[in-house]
A and B are shown apart, each in its own frame.
Chain A
Amino acid sequence: MSQTTRTPRVRPPAEQPLIPQRRGGSAAYWPYLLPGLALLIVIVIVPLVWNVYLTFTKWKGVRAPEFIGLENWVKIFGDDDFWTSFANSIWMVLAMVVLPTILGLVIAALLFDVVGRKFGGRTASFLRATFYLPQILPVVVAGIVIGWIVRPGGDGALNQMLGVLGIRPVDWLGQMPSALIVLMVVLIWVQLGYPVVVFMAALQRVDPELYEAAELDGANWLQRFTSITMSIIRPEIFVVTLTCTIAALKVFGPVYVITGGGPAGATLVPAYYAYQEFFTKRNVGYGATIATVLTIVVVIVSIVFIRVQNSLERKERAGL
C-alpha cells in the first residue's frame, strides 16, 4: 500500500556503526539480524527455491515428486488459459493503475485547486475521505459488495433497478465481457482512493507563486497542470504506478469471490490459475510453473520501474 520504490541509500563515507565502538565494529550487530534473516530464509527463500524446483516435476502433493524436466515449461507456452490469464492481467493493470491514476490526478487536482480553495478545506477533506473509504475494505469484502449488486436473476439489486426501466434480468457474471467489467469495477472502486490521497498530499508541495507566475504569462489551467504540477508530483505518480502495477499482477481475492475465473476460464488471472492448479486440480508442478512466471514478471516490472526512476532522477540532478 505505502511502499516506496527507492532503495534507501545508506552509503555513508565511513563504514562505522553510528554508535561509537568499544570492540567488534559492525560485525557485532549480526546477532540482531539473525532472527529476522533466519525467518526470512525458512519462510521465503527456501519455499521460493523449492517452488522453482517443483516446476521441473509432476506432483499430486502426495508421495515423491516425479522429475519431468522442462515438460511444464513447454506446456505453459502452448496453454491458452495461461495466455488468457496474463492477458487479463493487462485489464487488471488498466483497472488498478491506469484508470485510478488518471482519475485520481483529476479528482485530486479538483479537490485541491477548486474545492479546497473556493469551498474550504473541510469540504475537500470530507470528499477525500469519501473517495478513500473503499480502500480500507479487505478486497474480498469489496468483491462481495459489488458481487451482491450484480447478483444474477430477478433479485439482484442492479437487475431490479434495470427492471424498473423494463430491462430483463441480466446474468452479469455468466457472460463476457460483463464478468470482466464487473471485476474491473471492483478494482477501480477499491483503488481510486489511494492516488487521490497521495496526490492531494503531494499537491501541497506545489508553490502557488509558480502558478501565479505562469498565469501572468498567460498559461491556462491545463497548461499549468501539465507543466508545473505533473513535474513536481512525479515521484508520487511513480510510486503509485509501481505499487499498484505489482498489486494488479497479484490480484486474487476478487476473482475468487466473484467469478471463480468463469465463465469458462475467461476471467482467469495468473494468481487464481496457479491456485486452481495447486488445490483444485492437484497439478502442483504446473501450478508452481505459473507462480514462477508471475514472480519473474513482478521482479522484472519492479526492476524496470526503479531503473527508470533512477535515471530520471539523475537527469533531473544534471539539470535536464
Chain B
Amino acid sequence: MHATTAIVTGKPGKSRPRGGMTKKRPVDWLLLALVIVGAIAVIAPFYLVLVNSFKSPVDYANSGPLALPENLDFSGMVAFWERVNFPEKVWNSIFISGVVAVLAVVISMLNAFAIGIGRVRGRSWIVLLFLMANLLPQEALLYPLYYMFKSVGLYDNVWSVIIVFTVIQAAFGTYLLSSVYGTFPKEVLEAASIDGASRWQILWRVVFPISRPTLSVLLIFFFIWTWNEFLIPLTFLASNANQTVPVAISVLQGDRLMDVTTTSASALLGIIPTLIFFLIFQRTLTRGITAGAVK
C-alpha cells in the first residue's frame, strides 16, 4: 500500500508548510476522523464479504453478518469453486486478457508509428476515428458482431472476444501512443537512419525499446480492462467452458445453489484476482491513471 507514497510526497520541500507536521489543531483531528469514517464505509462491503464467505449457513444465521466466523467453514467456497470450475474460468480470463493485451499493444505501436512518426496524411482524422471507436457503446456493434461470429463459426469461441477487444483496446492505444510518438526525439531516429537502418528495423530496434515504459503501462491496463469486461464475453461466450470469471460468477446469481454464504464466497472469488493485480501493479496503475488524466 505504500508503494505510491513516493508520488504523494515526491516534492516534500514544496508540499509541506514551513510549520512542519507537528501543529495539529483539534479541527485537523476532526477532519482526519471524517476521512477515516469515509474510508471505513468504502472498505465495509469488502469486510462483510470476506468474513461471511467462511461461515456455515448456521453460523451466519446465529451470529449475523458483522461477526467474525466461529470456525472457518469452506463449504460455500468449495461448493461454488466446484460448480463453476473456477480454475478453468481463471485460465480463460488470463488467456483472453493476456492475448488481447499483447496483440493490442503491437497494433497500437504499428498504428502510432505510422501516425506519430510517419506522419501519414489525414492523421488527425485517423486518430479521431480510433478515439471514436473506443468511446462507442458496445451495444451499437453487438448484434452485427454476434451475427458475423455466428456465420464464421467463431461464436462461443474465446477468439471472438479476443478479436473484438484487441480492436477496442488498440483504438485507445493508438490514440495515446500517436501523441507520444509525435514527440519522439528526432535525433535518435536520424542517427539510426544514417546508420542505414530500415523503417522496420528502426521501429523494433529504436522506437520499441525507448518507448517500452509506456508500452508496459498500456499492456497492464489492457489486461485489466479486458479482464473486467462483461457485455461482450456474456454475449459471445455461451457455454460454461469458455466463460470468463466475471461472466461465470454473474450468471450463477439467483441459482438454487446460491445460499447466502455461497453467494458471499462467489463475490469474494471475483474480488481476489483483481486484488492480486492491484497489489502487483499498484505503482504502475496509479502512475498510469494520473498520467492518462493530464496526458
Task: Enumerate chain A interface residues (CB-CB to B < 8 A).
Answer: 1-4, 6-12, 15-20, 26-30, 32-33, 35-37, 39-40, 43-48, 50-51, 54, 61, 107, 110-112, 114-122, 124-134, 136-141, 144-149, 151, 155-157, 160-161, 164, 189, 192-194, 197-198, 200-202, 204, 207-208, 212, 235-236, 239-240, 246, 249-250, 252-253, 256-257, 270-271, 274-275, 278-279, 284, 287-288, 290-292, 294-295, 298-299, 302
Q: Are A147 and B253 in contact (CB under 8 A)?
A: yes
| Set of chain A residues within 8 Å of B139, measured between Cβ atoms | 250, 252, 270-271, 274-275, 278, 287, 290-291, 294-295
| Set of chain A residues within 8 Å of B285, measured between Cβ atoms | 136
Query: Of all chain B residues, which has the CB nearest A143?
Result: B250
Closest beta carbon of chain B to A252's beta carbon, Å? 5
| Set of chain B residues within 8 Å of A46, measured between Cβ atoms | 144
Task: Enumerate chain B interface residues (CB-CB to A < 8 A).
Answer: 1-2, 4-5, 7-12, 14-17, 21, 23-24, 28, 31-32, 34-36, 38-39, 42-43, 45-46, 48-49, 52, 60-61, 64-66, 107-108, 110-111, 113-121, 123-124, 126-148, 163-164, 166-168, 170-172, 174-176, 178-179, 182, 184, 186, 189-190, 192-194, 199, 202-203, 221, 224-225, 227-231, 234-235, 245-246, 249-250, 253, 260, 263-264, 266-267, 270-271, 274-275, 277-278, 282, 285-286, 288-295
Q: Are A117 and B21 in contact (CB under 8 A)?
A: yes
| Set of chain A residues within 8 Å of B282, measured between Cβ atoms | 129
Q: Are A47 and B65 in contact (CB under 8 A)?
A: no
| Set of chain B residues within 8 Å of A10, measured between Cβ atoms | 115-116, 119, 123-124, 127, 178-179, 182
A selection of 17 A-B contacts at a CB cut-off of 8 Å is: A2-B221, A7-B131, A9-B124, A29-B117, A37-B126, A47-B148, A50-B144, A112-B8, A115-B31, A116-B9, A121-B8, A128-B8, A140-B249, A156-B260, A201-B7, A256-B230, A302-B135
Main secondary structure of the interface of B (DSSP, over half): helix
> Which residue from A35, A125, A157, A201 sits with its C-beta under 8 Å from B52?
A157
Measured between alpha carbons, how far is A246 from B170 in the docked complex, in Å? 19
Q: Are B140 and A294 in contact (CB under 8 A)?
A: yes
Measured between alpha carbons, how far is A110 from B192 in the docked complex, in Å? 50
Measured between alpha carbons, how far is A120 from B144 in the docked complex, in Å? 54
